[in-house]
Amino acid sequence: MSEAPLIGPSETDASITATVSHLALRKHAGIGWFAGVVFTFSLVLLLFYGIAYLFIRGVGIWGVNIPVAWGFAITNFVWWIGIGHAGTLISAILLLLHQKWRNSINRFAEAMTIFAVMCAGMMPLLHLGRPWMFYYIFPYPDTMNMWPQFRSPLVWDFFAVSTYLTVSIIFWYIGMIPDLATLRDRAPKGISKYVYGVMAFGWRGDAEHWERYEKTYLVLAGLATPLVVSVHSVVSFDFAVAQLPGWHSTIFPPYFVAGAIFSGFAMVLTIAIPLRAVFGLQALVTERHLENCAKLMLTTGLIVDYGYLNEFFLAWYGNNLYEKFHEFATATGAYWFAFWIVILCNVGVTQLLWFKPMRIKPLPLFIISILVNVGMWTERFVIVVTSLSKDWLPSSWGMFFPTVWDWVIFIGSLGLFTFLYFVFLRLFPIVPMAETRKLVHGESE
Amino acid sequence: MERYRRGELYGIAAEFETVEDLRAAAIRLFDARYRKVHFYTPYPVKGLAGMFRGMNDWVRYLLVSPLIFIGGFVGAATGIAMQEYANLIDFPINIGGRPLNSWPAFIPITFELTILFASFGGVLAFLVLNRLPQFYHPIFNARDFERATQDRYFLCIEVEDPKFDWQKTRALLEATKAVLVEEVPW
Amino acid sequence: MCNAQIDVAQLFSRPGSININILLAIFLIGGPVLTLLLLWVVYNSPWRTLQGKPIPQPVPFSHEHHVAGLGIDCRYCHTSVETSSFAGIPPVHTCMSCHSQVWRNATVLAPVRESYISGIPLHWTRVTDLPQFVFFNHSAHVNHGVGCSTCHGRIDRMQMTSKAVYMQMRWCTNCHGDPARFLRPPDQVMNMAWIPPPNQHAAGQKLIGDYHIDTTHLMDCVTCHR
Amino acid sequence: MSSMKRYDFDSIRERLRGTQGEELWRSLDELGDTEEFREWLMHEFPAGADVWLEGLSRRGFLKFAAASMALAGLTGCANQPFEPIVPYIDQPEGRPSGEPSWFATALPRRGFGTGVLVKSFEGRPVKIEGNPDHPASLGATDAIIQADLLGLYDPDRSQVVRKGTSIGTWDDFSREFVPVMERQRLAGGGGVRLLTQTVTSPTLRAQIESLLRIFPGARWHRYEPVNRDNVYAGTRLLFGRPLEPRYHFDRADVVVGLDSNFMTDDPGAVRYAREFSDRRRVDDPETSSMNRFYSIHSNLTVTGSMADHALPRKPSLIAVYARALAQHIAGVGGGIELARDDAHWIDVAARDLMAHRGRALIIAGEGQPPPVHALAHAMTAALGGIGSTVTYSRPVTDPESNVDSIRELAHDLDGGGVEVLVILGGNPVYDAPADLEFARRLAKVPMSVHWSLDEDETASKCRWHVPASHPLESWSDLRAWDGTTSIVQPLIAPLYDTRSAHELIGTITGSPMHGHDIIKGFWRTFGPVRALLPPSPKAGGAPLAPNPAAEGAFASWWRDTLARGVVAGSTEPDVAVTSDPAAIARLLGEPWPAIDESAIDVAFEPDPSILDGRYANNGWLQEVPKPITKLSWNNAALIGPDLAQRMNLANEQVLEIAFRGRTIEAPAWIVPGHADRAVTLHLGFGRKAPAQTAEGVGFDAYPIRFSDSMTFTSGADVRATERRRDLVSVQHHNTLAGRDHVRAATLDQYRREPDFVREPEKEPKHDETMYPPYVYPRYAWGMSIDLNSCIGCNACVMACVAENNVPIVGREQVERGREMHWLRIDRYWAGPLENPSTFHQPMLCMHCEDAPCEVVCPVGATVHSSEGLNEMIYNRCIGTRYCSNNCPYKVRRFNFLRYSTRGDEVMELMYNPDVTVRMRGVMEKCSYCVQRIERARIKADNAERPIADGEIVTACQQACPAQAIVFGNANDPQSKVKKLKDQKRDYGVLTELNTRPRTTYLAKLRNPNPELEKG
């Protein structure tokens, strides 16, 4: 087959093992890594500061108001969850589809998922008026004889996101056990060796274990696949179930899922491209990986664009006064700039991916992926805010303006994400060695 | 030396440089009617385990999926039961004029719980059936065994194997392309 | 690469007779369960709820003495219990109407006399205290067959008054959900010693009708939260 | 965001051309057309974004709410702290604790009494309601009376005696003051001056008269910044003596207003509003009739917004139109040039009036000069209105001019020789006519004493400031504009060491007495049932001969009077007046001032909320959006679209208004329907008194208000600047954007097609649902609001705030869109820009049967009751705000920060104990006053009877002067609310969403004159 190879020709078991485990086991991670940790950790501190002030004063420090009662927090939530989708998609769906190219990138994609979902899960909690009462959402035998209100999409959210986080972690960890064993066996005597030893559960690469390992992994993949689709569908219900013009739309679930994968792969590239450059992983994360991600972005991007088109079409075709007005206000109203950023990034920029050079050249691809991330965040913003700012009664229309605290939380969450990522890069096998060894030997599932 | 006294020995291990050599050796052992043979490879190698799989190995192999299914079933049951009980029996209440049994609204949670419990089942199956975590295992006594998770391929014949005779067995292994053959003590 | 040859042998020592995995499982599962259990016990323990714990008062007033001993009717002091949301704490005047004759010089009653003379009211401490978002109306209960002792316990046996029940919403809904189990005939409401008759449930059902109790409204939130 | 939006009004008019009558502005169709038009219609939140970019400043709302403790809610799971419980020493008779008790008293509105009933818990007044037996109230109140409750508990109230900046005591004051007075008495009191506001209290008047007997040389001056000088001067001009007109709108078929705002400004406003809207209730299209109201006004007021035909003209021009009208009625010659349309308008109005002899009424506004008033009365008389639509009685206060009175005082102050000046209420330093330079002159008085509720501008300029008792904590008596007298009884002992006016006069005259003794003493002596024989006029303080025979009678009379709140038979008798037909001609013959058509008039009006500024410290009144402009925490220079177009002005653009060398700066606010070439300034803002609610809110218009032009002037010079000052408005969109939330028709249309409100294609049939029908067997609470009677005054909003412990949030929070009012009044415009029709729509929780909010709440904090109430349970709420997002009516309110003043021991006294005080982070909304429902239920249950119709009255319903709101059990076919809901005009808002609202509206009707309705 004429396709570019998935792995450098000169790679062997030993070389893969050496390259990857070196990243985790080396004495000094280099000044770049250190600087990164310091910078991102300072952002984490900023986040904590923001959260502390938020809890002391209340959500009023944000720009939210009546009618726009949801602002950045929910925007971030939807966006982060979306980011979280690529990881599971790569590791689960592509596994089921026997996409071998996934093997070398799924590990850090899954890590990305977990951290993104953490950032996401934080948001709904912070945006509560009384965050210390969050446990009212849990079904537990309380003193009030009350239950959560199971018809509310927010409760569905709670179940979906927590399930998603749990399953992602399980999936990630099980996949990592053999590699942790490798690290255990390569680590110099000392505390780290024992830590890896415990984490590896005493894995010894027994052929029997391998068989059951692969089987479990496959079934888990089978479970994660519908899950990943369900999660963002449920998130989209937050809007689709409400009856606001611009929210109440049956196309939301597929359109959100596509958007999620779209932004997810954008984020994968945003991370992978610098990663392979900095850690010299070009042999493991090859141009073909980049191109495949790019192709997926293009596909999902087109689905998203269809979603936009569809909204306007239905508003016109359904000839509903409120829908029509909503679409009009979205495009030309107070938030026109946001809307056109979305169009520019998610519709315009995406089309560049039709051209091969754009798909394989790291730099342009990197820029495109950044733009798509921006575009998708803005899209969430448009969905959340513009619909709320002008709904049914003109008398109650209002505007949302973010305050500094909105930005602190948003930027802080970015900081948290990258910080966790830096830690992950330092301590874990960022490329699944066992899986790549399979590639060396041309083994197929 | 007393280290070799019978009963103190777990088995004899052999180390190979390539997976092909391992396969070749495996076939010879199979022909020699050895049954309690274990293989240790840095990545999943097809077919090896199947050759020497005993009865209870088969059971443990096939049990994976049923356990996961049970997990999923329990999850689904929990989801439905919880929501129906809350809305119909424990605290029936008129919410937005919707029916008490708004079953369509109960689907998402039921689904999520199904997945959650199923994957718990999966983890359980994986750990229990593999007897993991198992931090101490005699095979780790084999010299050079740390490379089994990197770039070398090991096999080990247990002393429990009916055909085991440490003279003959050792000779047999040395006859293969093994780079290193040694006794593995308990 | 370089250190691939070093001899690890066993990283972890040979296990003893006990299986650490089992221990691990017990710890991971049992630990949280125990903690929660402990918290629950503490949360509901009298140490926190003060249930059955006498509350210090400026005057060691004994319900046992006045109710059981002297047989004074509840309404003599708690005058508005049948007409108002608030049962009413007796004005010092009420105390003095007797204690100007009896126990005139009792030292325990000094605060009462002082208050009566100085006009500075006594500061009792609430025994049964509901949060500000709960609205309870005595008249609505007393006039519809809910007895004093149902909520306040055997006041007539309390040397020092104390909380008889720890009132959580679960406890309230217990009756609001199915009042038949607790309703009494009108003449029994003030009876401290009342115990439900064997046919209580049937009787209760009948009483619901006699009192014209709208049971559907009893479980509405606004019945207590406004 | 700070760039100013200017509008291309030509294009806007172009859009609106053709749209007329009830056709509502269709923004959607026009949106495509011009940028400016969209800006105008969609009005994208001009109020600056700058607020949003900086963090929270403490000023603004922290004044009302201390910073909240971190995670205050955690205390929820800890143990409750011990709570003391304090019994009475001696329980008052027949007052069980925990139950409210009601007391009848009266509150002053610009000095005139309004009878009220005050609800009190354990001696704390918590709610003010109208007294049905009182003619000026008829059971309702206006917003100001409702908000006066806060005036009592206001933390900014003056609480201590002050000498300059140092705190003193009443003793210090007497010690210094009494000797001075003693010296004055010996000297004949020539150096004593007394300055009061409008005085209607018989006792106070008697006290002052006796004071003047003791100090023969003393002078008594009166000054009320917004006064009735023109009214009395007008009647004097026509009838030869000052009279108080009493209008009877219930008898008027055709009403013409000449810049009159009788629905909120007159002393009888509350009654007038009721009588007016009673004439506009249309229960049955066939039989019911409506009155017709023509209004010529400069500023669009509540009254003007109810007009069937409005003619916005600048104030100085209104005299011309009055004369034109008069000419028609008197049938005398012309000489007055009017534009063709206007001439036609006047002609039609005149014929309409003449067609309704004896049932016609012409009413002139307080702002118009005396001749216009005289003309108005003369016309009404000529149309046989006297005795029918208007009667006259003796004024209950001194009718001579306030302006002259204070001018004299100012003159005397200049001349020196004034040793003692006692300012009994009022704030002349702030609100006296600018040309009198009162502050400068006041400084010349060695002994100046200021008695007031607030430590205001005057307080700081006087030698002594003494704190006044609030009417709710003092004994007094007041007379309504028609003479009806009420005894004012205290609801609570003074919160601080304050004294009432009566007690202060007592101190001055050297005979300090308790207010109760003064008032009771007066009525024992001069009341209808006398327990004392009056003193002989000669002897000043001669002892009174007791009349033991009458003691018993007096005692019972006193008790009954206090209970009823009205002194029987105290109403002033009608005065028979006649006005000869020639009067009109004579008046027209008078020399009328020439009008400069091109000049820009500047009019001074009392603010709809804070009046002349005396309520400026009242946070409730500051925050409540003004009826027409919807401005909050602001006043503005109101201008019409034409002027804005000619001067190319934008909203919030600062104007420099110069008059006689004095200049003020005011941000512009464009009001459709405001007269051209006129700027309306609301008084009472721009206060200087430090550390008070009102400090720095809005701008002060008094500096250009001169004694010869108290209500408007044509000489001012209005210049536009390029600066911009943020104004806070709670409604940013003035049109219905082509939607039908307000449905309206003319009376004729209604008669032709009674079903005009129905929209069968949109409204789902009742069985058109997937949900099971929930049955509400016993009670189904519902509300009906008559858009036809609603005049858009804020009485209901204020009543709701007082009843439900709704917090104040402050200017900054309102600007962020976080006002907490459970009930708001939406105001929409339709028709031509320069003269649109106005629609007021009270908007509150609809208590939808299929409530969208409930379904999305994750914790079940808002659910449905078995009687169809949409319950909001604060203690369950965790604040996801999802319910608000999903509420199509956006009537839910959220505590974004800690707004409640819980913890402030004075403000806590004000809380209604029946309603939970909401904490930070929970949602809240209208509950249909569920606390009142439950009280009524328990009362009924204890009596073993069902709740009767009308037994439950919600706060808004109770306060509404127009009786536009009706609440009750929609299950009961006999109930008032059910009957209204059965009317053909009844419709629900957004029913196409199948929300099934329990609150429905009766469509608005207008009764235009076919001859004027174009097209």
Distances D459 to D148, D175, D484 between C-alpha atoms, Å: 21, 20, 33
Compute chain D's Rg from CA coordinates: 28
Chain C CB contacts of A180 under 8 Å are: none
- The mean pLDDT value for D575-589 works out to 86
* D852·A403 Cβ contact <8 A: no
Query: What CATH class is the domain A13-444?
Result: mainly alpha
The token pair at D205 is 């008047």
User: Are B96 and D854 a contacting pair at CB < 8 A?
Assistant: yes
Residues of chain B contacting residue A140, judged by C-beta atoms under 8 Å apart: none
Question: Is A145 within 8 Å of C173 when comparing Cβ atoms?
Answer: yes
Structure tokens at A332: 């030309």
- How confident is the model at residue C131, as a pLDDT? 86
Taking only residues 37 to 96 of chain B, the set having a beta carbon closer than 8 angstroms to any beta carbon of chain C reads 93
The tens digit of pLDDT for each residue in D355-378 reads 999 999 999 999 999 999 999 999
Pick the CATH number of B3-54+138-185 from 2.40.50, 3.30.70, 3.30.1490, 2.60.40: 3.30.70
pLDDT category of residue C16 using cuts at 50, 70 and 90: low
pLDDT confidence of residue A415: 94
- Contact flag D841-A394 (C-beta cutoff 8 Å): no
H helices of chain B, in order, are 19-31, 48-52, 55-84, 103-129, 166-174
d(CA D632, CA D817): 11
Predicted model pTM? 0.90
CA–CA min distance C5, chain A (Å) = 9
**D940 and D827 belong to one structural domain:** yes
Touching partners of D (3+ C-beta pairs < 8 Å):
A, B, C
Instruction: Please check whether residues D405 and D366 belong to one and the same domain.
Output: no
Mutate to test the interface with A, among D887, D898, D923 (most CBs of A within 10 A): D887
Cα gap D483→A114, rounded to integer Å: 79
Contact check, Cβ <8 Å, A185/B127: no
Contacts of B115 in chain A (CB under 8 A): 163, 167, 223-224, 226-227, 230
State the count of interchain CB pairs (< 8 A) between C and D: 135
Q: Where are the alpha helices (DSSP H) in D811-969?
A: 811-815, 852-856, 882-886, 905-910, 930-942, 955-959
The first and second tokens of residue D590, run together, are 């008078």
Q: Which of D671, D666, D675 is nearest to D629 (CA)?
A: D671
pLDDT of residue A236: 94
Q: Which residue of C has its CA nearest to A20?
A: C1
Number of inter-chain CB pairs under 8 A, A vs B: 191
- Do D967 and D896 belong together in one domain? yes
Residues whose CB falls within 8 Å of the CB of residue A103, separated by 6 or more in sequence, listed in order: A6, A432, A435, A436, A438, A439
CA atoms of D685 and D604, how far apart (whole Å): 12
CB contact under 8 A, A393 and D890: yes
CB C71 within 8 A of CB C196: no
Query: Residue D875, SS3?
Result: helix
Q: Which A residues, 36 through 65, put their C-beta within 8 Å of a C-beta on chain D?
A: 55-61, 63-65
Burial of D391 (0-12, 13-18, 19+ CB in 10 A): buried
pLDDT in tens, chain A (445 residues): 345 566 777 778 888 888 888 888 888 878 888 898 999 999 999 999 999 999 999 999 999 999 999 999 999 999 999 998 888 888 888 888 888 777 778 888 899 999 999 999 999 999 999 999 999 999 988 888 889 999 999 999 999 999 999 999 998 999 999 999 999 988 888 888 889 988 998 898 898 899 889 888 888 999 999 999 999 999 999 999 999 988 998 899 999 999 999 999 999 899 889 888 888 778 778 888 888 889 989 999 999 999 999 888 888 888 888 888 888 888 888 888 899 999 999 899 989 989 888 888 889 999 999 999 999 999 999 999 999 988 898 888 888 999 999 999 999 999 999 999 889 988 999 888 888 888 887 754 3
**Number of domains composing chain D:** 4
Which of C84, C92, C133 lies at the smallest CB-CB distance from D98? Answer: C84
Q: Is D424 helix (H, G, I), strand (E, B) or coil?
A: strand
- Interchain contact, D771 vs B95, CB within 8 Å: no
Interface contact D855-B94, CB threshold 8 A = no
According to DSSP, residue D499 is labeled B
Q: Could you check whether the bond before residue A67 is cis, i.e. omega within 30 degrees of 0?
A: yes
Residue D590 belongs to some domain of the structure = no
Q: Which two tokens stand for residue D83?
A: 């709570």
Q: Which residue of C has its CA nearest to D868?
A: C220
Q: Do B133 and C5 touch (CB under 8 A)?
A: no
Nearest to B78 by CA among B104, B101, B112, B105: B112
**At residue D1014, does pLDDT exceed 70?**
no
The residue whose two tokens read 């951290």 is: A115
Report cis status (omega within 30 of 0) of the bond before C91: no
Q: Do D920 and A321 touch (CB under 8 A)?
A: no
Contact D652, D668 (CB under 8 A): yes
Share of chain D above pLDDT 90, in %: 57
User: Quick one: pLDDT at residue D509?
Assistant: 81
State the pLDDT at residue A335.
87
What is the crossing angle of helices A321-332 and A287-318, to 10°?
A: 130
Q: What pLDDT score does A11 carry? A: 77
Q: Is B150–A186 a contact, with Cβ atoms under 8 angstroms apart?
A: yes
| Per-residue CA distances from D187 to A390, B149, D217, D507, D669 (Å) | 73, 117, 9, 19, 55
Residues D439-493: pLDDT tens digits? 999 999 999 999 999 898 999 899 999 999 999 999 999 999 999 999 999 988 8
At D864 the pLDDT is 94
- Smallest CA-to-CA distance from D269 within D377, D360, D145 is with D145
Point out the residue among C124, C212, C222 whose CB comes nearest to the CB of D869.
Answer: C222
Alpha carbons C6 and D774: distance in angstroms, whole number: 78
Q: How many CB atoms lie within 10 A of CB C199?
A: 10
Q: Is C11 close to B93, i.e. CB distance below 8 A?
A: no
Contact criterion met (CB below 8 Å) for D566 and D133: yes
pLDDT in the model for residue D42 = 45
The model's pLDDT over C96-138, given as tens digits with 9 standing for 90+, comes to 888 888 888 888 888 898 888 888 888 888 888 888 899 999 9
Within 10 angstroms of residue D411's Cβ, the number of other Cβ atoms is: 11
How much is the pLDDT for D276? 94
Whole-number pLDDT of residue D60: 37
Helices (H) and strands (E) in chain C, counts: 11, 1
pLDDT at D545: 67
CA distance A179 to A23: 13
For the cut 50, the answer to whether the pLDDT of residue B132 exceeds it is yes
Same domain, yes or no: D640 and D532: no
CA-nearest residue of chain D to C118? D89
pLDDT value at D24 more than 50 = no
The C-alpha atoms of residue D300 and residue A57 are separated, in whole angstroms, by 41
* For C81, nearest residue in chain D (alpha carbons): D96
What's the confidence (pLDDT) of residue D542?
52
B chain contacts of residue D772, beta-carbon cutoff 8 Å: 99
In the prediction, which pLDDT does D63 show? 34
Determine the residue type at C1: M
Put simply, the answer to whether A394 touches D897 (Cβ < 8 Å) is no
Task: Provide the pLDDT for residue D78.
Answer: 44
pLDDT for D16? 58
* Cβ neighbours for B26, distance < 8 A, ≥ 6 positions apart: B37, B39, B48, B51, B52, B155
pLDDT tens, position by position, C138-178? 999 999 999 999 999 999 888 889 998 888 898 999 899 99
Distance from C-alpha of D449 to C-alpha of D172, rounded to nearest angstrom? 13
Residues of A within 8 A of D49 (CB-CB) are 401
Residues from C contacting B (CB-CB < 8 Å) are 4-5, 7-15, 20-21, 24, 219
Q: Is C170 on the interface with D (CB under 8 A)?
A: no
Assess whether D501 and D519 both reside in one domain: yes
Cα–Cα distance measured from residue D451 to residue D644, given in angstroms and rounded to the nearest whole number: 43
Residues of B with Cβ-Cβ distance to D851 under 8 angstroms: 96-97
Q: What is the CATH number of the domain that holds D706?
A: 2.40.40.20
Nearest CA in chain C to B186: C14
Contacts of C215 in chain D (CB under 8 A): none
Contacts 24+ apart (CB under 8 A), A270-276: A270/A366, A270/A369, A270/A370, A270/A373, A271/A108, A271/A112, A271/A421, A272/A105, A272/A108, A273/A362, A273/A365, A273/A366, A273/A369, A274/A366, A275/A108, A275/A425, A275/A430
* CB atoms C226 and D914 under 8 Å: yes
Whether D70 shows a pLDDT value over 60: the answer reads no
Coil, strand or helix at D196: strand
Q: What is the pLDDT confidence band of residue D801, given thresholds at 50, 70 and 90? A: very high
CB contact under 8 Å between C8 and A145, yes or no, is no
Rounded to the nearest 5°, which phi and psi values hold at B162?
A: -50, -35
Quick check: is D740 in a domain? no
- The whole domain housing D644 covers 601-724
**Spatial distance between the Cα atoms of D486 and D567, rounded to a whole number of angstroms:** 6
Sign of CA dihedral B77, B79, B84, B85: positive
Indicate yes or no: CB of B133 within 8 angstroms of CB of C24. yes
Rounded to the nearest angstrom, the minimum Cα separation between A41 and chain D is 24
Please indicate, yes or no, if residue D536 is contained in any of the structural domains.
Answer: yes
- Inform me whether the C-beta atom of residue B31 falls under 8 Å from chain A C-beta atoms: no
- CB within 8 Å: C79 and D96: yes
- Determine how many CB atoms are found less than 10 A away from the CB of residue B48: 25
* Type of residue numbered D72: A
Q: How far apart are CA A443 and CA B160, in angstroms?
A: 32
CB contact under 8 A, C4 and B135: no
Q: How far is CA D925 from CA D583, D890, D891, in A?
A: 57, 10, 7
Mean pLDDT of D274-298: 91
Hey, where are the domains in chain B?
Answer: 3-54+138-185, 56-129
Write out the two tokens for A360. 């394989």
Q: How far apart are CA C70 and CA C63, in angstroms?
A: 10
Strand ranges inside D336-389, DSSP E? 360-364
Q: What is the pLDDT of residues C29-38, one digit of tens each?
A: 899 999 999 9
Q: Which of D84, D869, D916 sits opposite C132 (nearest CB)?
A: D916
